[in-house]
C-alpha cells in the first residue's frame, strides 16, 4: 500500500556540536533514514514518553479499591 504524502511545512532549527551531528548522521544512516526523519522519530518517541509519564497517576491497590 503506498504511503500517503505528508505535508511537512513547519521548520525547526537546532544547534549541536559537530560530534553530536556526526553521531546522529551515523545512526540515521544505519537505519536507512535521513537526518530529519531520524531526529524527528527519536524526539517524538521521547516526547510521547514524557507526556505519558506526566499524565499517568499511579495509586496503590488499596487506594484503587477505595475509589471503586
pLDDT tens column, 23-50: 999 999 999 999 999 999 999 999 999 9
DSSP 41: H
- Tell me: pLDDT of 1 over 60: no
DSSP 3: P
pTM, 2 dp: 0.72
Phi, psi of 21, rounded to the nearest 5 degrees? -65, -40
| 33 touches 41 (CB < 8 A) | yes
Query: Residue 3: what pLDDT?
Result: 61
Amino acid at each position: 500500500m503506498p504511503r500517503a504524502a505528508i505535508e511537512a511545512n513547519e521548520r525547526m532549527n537546532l544547534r549541536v556540536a559537530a560530534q553530536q551531528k556526526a553521531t546522529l548522521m551515523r545512526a540515521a544512516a544505519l537505519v536507512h533514514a535521513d537526518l530529519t526523519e531520524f531526529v524527528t522519530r527519536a524526539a517524538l518517541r521521547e516526547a510521547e514518553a514524557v507526556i505519558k509519564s506526566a499524565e499517568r497517576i499511579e495509586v496503590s491497590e488499596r487506594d484503587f479499591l477505595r475509589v471503586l
